[in-house]
Structure 1
Amino acid sequence: MVWVKLVSTSLITLIMIYMIYYSLVSIKAYRGNFNIAPHHKARTKFLVLIPAVNEEAVINIPVDDLKNQKYPKKLFDVYVIADHCTDKTAMIAKKHGAKVITTEMGLNVKRHGVGKSNTLDYGLHYLGLNEWNKYKYVVVIDSDNNVASNFLQRLNDYAVEFSEPEAIQVHLDSKQGHGFINKGLNLSFIRSNYFQQLPEGDLGCASLLGTGFATSTKKVINQVGGFRFHTLTEDAYEEMYIISHGGNVKFIPDTYVVNENYSKIKQASKGMTRWSRGCAQCCLYFFNYAITHCLVKPSFKNFHILCRISTLSKMTQLIIIWGFWIWHYIFGSAFSNLRVDWLIYPMWIQHFMLLLSIVMTLNIVVFENFYLLYPIYGCKRTIYLILNAYVFQLFYNMINLWAIITFSPI
């Protein structure tokens, strides 16, 4: 039973650590004092890449928005990477003003990685090292995104103001749909943009979200030899790679891209399972680094990496910490003869952990959302949206659990 106690104690301790971390980050957000970059003269050159696989119905959306940017045309180029498309994606993209790279154009280019990372890396290596080094940043936009007209200008402002950070993420919105999944995801974007991205961006530890971000050519792309972040969640891997190497990821709150969102359970299950497995890959890559560096070379950024990968434990939180307390406090008397004790902590610490976990869960699920939504929607609508968000989180925890149980490293 000793090893069971050690494992359960370690898992619950890790959960408590990251919950405390995100609660402390939220305090900075409640204070509302953030470093927002002022306007700077346009001088940063961007290479915008849009990976696409059979996106003829939507590819015109980001291409048109980028064509209408309030930013000098000579300072950016837009490439659509039509990867094994069997429809008219390439033709439509070209018609709307984008430059196009197709799979057939680079048959001699060696492919690396999986998913979006594979497509982006292919596009970069088709262009070649000399070509991509003409740009300060590589910008990634999904093929169905709407893009704000000041998007590139604000990327430029942050690049100039903060001495060209390794990566910059903009505010991510999602398109309105129906059902608890759509409402829950929308609310999670609203909450995380304010209570995580803004305060962590000030500290150089914002999250990359798969689209609407810029990566430094010199400081990142050249260092890894392209866009070679070999997981199903290339954005999370890149983010932790940058931070673990002492770099900065900044966040821009006043420009945006708008992403498609899930409404159907089957579609959401597939997408979120892929995301959870990709996060598990990142956990395997960075867990040893996070633990050893937090112990040997403690710093905020190393602690952030540990907490970031620990958010994979959302399903562990649901199954272990709440399951443990329910077992211990509700059914404990029925099984008292078994003398089951899952933690090495004395009981007063366990009581304190229970109280703290309830407070922190209420902060994340209720208080933060109420703080943001009540001024806009009023009390009744806010409560309705929070209930949707909570149901969505339970659903997402179950997806996390299934993804981890069926996970196999690649």
Structure 2
Amino acid sequence: MGLILIKYFNLGIFVVLTLLYFYQLLYVVVALVGERQKEHFDKDAKKQHRFAFIIAARNESSVIANLLQSIKQQNYSSELIDIFVIADNCTDNTAEIARECGAIVYERFNNILVGKGYALDYAFEHIGRDCGDVEVYDGYFIFDADNVVDKNYVYEMNKVFDSGFRVITSYRNSKNYDTNWITAGYSLWFLREAKFLNNPRMMLNTSCAVSGTGFLISSQIVKKNNGWKFQLLTEDIQFSVVNAIEGERIGYCEKAILYDEQPCTFAQSWSQRMRWAKGFYQVMFKYGKTLFTTMFKRKERFVSCYDMLMTIAPATILTLVCIGVNCLFLLYGLNNPKLFRYLVPVIMNAIFFSAVNGYGLMFVLGLITTITEWKRIQCSPIKKILYIFSFPIFIFTYVPISIIALFKKVEWKPIAHSVVKTAEDMQRS
């Protein structure tokens, strides 16, 4: 009886996960065969809006100048762009460098309220006070200090903003794709997110999701929220979920390209993704029920709320439940050597089946992403091919991270950045 139960249980988990995430396979098809939303990507804007960049920086003296330079070199009226840098608990000369580059700098020192969300709220509070109203700007770009942006970034984002979107995300590329399998794993994931999640969402007129950096929010949204009130460990996902619940459609601009630095060591990656995993749990526990009920109360928000619910919950939870139940069956079998002898191969087969299928799925996603984004990936051809094979392994390392994050107390910690590349460097690659 126990053997039958565990077989059907594992099969059931596989079927449920397949059904829950099948829509993302449809997204891939839409991205490959669908047409772009030309009215949002190709038409010139009727108006050049006034924007401000907000950059939260903690000890970023080695990289921040290149970001500020790339903003200064935008193919857009310079008088319509201001830059605000929040030097957040800095112990280096980040603030001095930012001022020398022409940014308006706010220095913040608070060792209790730690994290990017608090720094952003601090910025909006001071802008509102110093300028009289946050709506002195039409919109705000949110960036990390290690980024650089393509010279047409603001020009392209302004097109989508002018079409009526009040929150817009962009195409996230990498400064250091070719460093190792870890940086490539991150980079492929973000490229896949842009090409095969946000791109088809935009095509299908549902809501996209912001991802940490490289997004634009209307000052109306800032004013409505009285600043930036998203303080969980993954404030970007929290913000995306709240917008889905409230019916605010997030747009996407494929032609607006930013280059982001990825962690180079497994220790850095482990720490960062531990925070992400814990943050996803926080968002799920706080908003999961509301997302679920909103899906049925407001039918026009069903797709975006369902999409966000799948983003924050089931795959991780169901995987952990599956692992836990299989472990319980093994413990139960210890009291019955004959049953245990049969349980072990059944469970090992289930693990092997899951691993092979998971690897195959991630490999295919990595392969398709590499093929479609080949010219945009800054890496030698041989490494592009090799990193397709390591991509599933990178994704598999989320399993122990997700398990530990469920029980461990996790706090925000800064990631050191050291990849010094300009926008010109990236465009020449």
Same fold by TM (over 0.5)?
yes
Cα displacement string for residues 306-327 of structure 1 (whole angstroms, at most 9, x for unaligned residues): 212226x3474377279859x8
Equivalent residue, structure 2, for 1:75 = 80
| Offset from partner CA, 1:223-264 (integer Å, 9 cap, x none) | 211011121111111111111101111111112111111121
2:303 maps to which residue? Answer: 300
State how far apart, in whole Å, the 2-side matches of 1:139 and 1:102 are.
19
**Structure 1 residue 50, shift from structure 2 partner:** 0.7
Shift in Å, 1:17: 4.1
SS at match of 1:261: coil
Cα shift readout 1:79-120 (whole Å, capped 9, x = no counterpart): 11112222211111111111111227xx9xxx9965101001
Partner of 2:121: 121
- Deviation, structure 1 residue 287: 0.7
Structure 1 residues 297 and 123, CA gap change in structure 2 (3 angstroms): closer
Distance 1:115 1:8, change over 3 A: farther
TM-score (norm 2): 0.78
> Are 1:12 and 1:320, in contact at CA under 8 Å, matched by a contact in 2?
no
CA distance in 2, matches of 1:227, 1:30: 36
Provide closer, same or farther for how the CA distance between residues 360 and 307 of structure 1 changes in structure 2, counting only shifts above 3 A: farther
Task: State the alpha-carbon separation in 2 of the partners of residues 295 and 338 from structure 1.
Answer: 44
Which amino acid is the alignment partner of residue 266 of structure 1? A
Q: Distance in 2 between matches of 1:309 and 1:268?
A: 19
State how 1:7-406 maps to structure 2 within 5 Å.
15-36=17-38, 37-38=41-42, 39-103=44-108, 114-128=114-128, 130-161=132-163, 163=164, 165-176=165-176, 177-202=178-203, 203-218=205-220, 220-298=221-299, 299-310=302-313, 313-314=315-316, 316-317=318-319, 320=322, 335=339, 361=358, 364-374=361-371, 376=374, 384-406=386-408
Q: Deviations over 1:367-387 (max 9, x none)?
A: 333233347499976652222
Contact 1:46–1:76 at 8 Å: present in 2 too? yes
CA distance in 1, matches of 2:324, 2:189: 22
- Residues 55 and 359 (structure 1), Cα distance of their counterparts in 2 relative to 1, 3 Å cut: closer
Distance 1:283 1:322 in 2: 20
Q: Secondary structure at the match of 1:133?
A: helix
Post-superposition Cα deviations, 1:209-232, rounded to whole Å, max 9, x if no partner, equal: 1111011111x2112110111211
Q: Structure 2 stretches of 5 or more lacking a match?
A: 345-349, 413-429
Larger displacement relative to structure 2 (373-382 or 114-123): 373-382
Structure 1 residues 326-358: Cα deviation after superposition (integer angstroms, max 9, x where no partner): x89xx9x96399999xxxxxxxxxx9xx99x89
Deviation at 1:201, TM superposition (A): 2.8
Matched letter for residue 307 of structure 1: M
CA shift digits 1:118-167 (9 cap, x unpaired): 00100110122633211111111111111111111111100112x1x231
- 1:14 Cα shift? 5.9
CA RMSD in angstroms, aligned pairs only: 3.8
Contact 1:294 1:303 in 2 (8 A): yes
1:175-212 CA distance string (max 9 Å, x none): 22533211211221222221112012333422211111
Q: Give the Cα separation in 2 of the matches to 1:21 and 1:231.
A: 28
| Preserved contact between residue 56 and residue 116 of structure 2 (Cα < 8 Å) | yes
Task: Assess, with a 3 A threshold, how the Cα gap between structure 1 residues 324 and 59 changes in structure 2: closer, same or farther.
Answer: same
- Post-superposition shift, 1:60? 0.5
Give the 3-state SS of the residue equivalent to 2:45 in structure 1.
Answer: coil
The 8 Å contact of residues 234 and 276 in structure 2, kept in 1 or not, is answered as yes
- Equivalent pairs: percent with the same residue? 23
How far is the alpha carbon of 1:290 from its aligned partner?
A: 2.2
Amino acid of the structure 1 residue aligned with 2:199: L
Tell me, what secondary structure is at the counterpart of 2:144? Answer: coil
Q: Distance in 1 between matches of 2:61 and 2:384?
A: 37
Matched residues, number: 383
Check whether the contact 1:112–1:121 (CA below 8 A) recurs between aligned residues.
Answer: no
Asked if the contact 2:146–2:261 (Cα under 8 Å) also holds between the matched residues in 1, the reply is yes
Check the 8 A contact 2:88/2:107 in 1, yes or no.
yes
Letter in 2 for 1:243: A
Q: Which amino acid is 2:209 matched to?
A: S
Aligned equivalents of 2:190, 2:81: Cα separation in 1: 28
Q: What SS does the corresponding residue of 1:128 show, helix, strand or coil? A: helix
Structure 1: 5+ residue stretches without partners: 341-350
With over 3 angstroms needed to count, the CA separation of the structure-2 counterparts of 1:408 and 1:334, relative to structure 1, is farther
CA drift of 1:169 comes to: 0.6
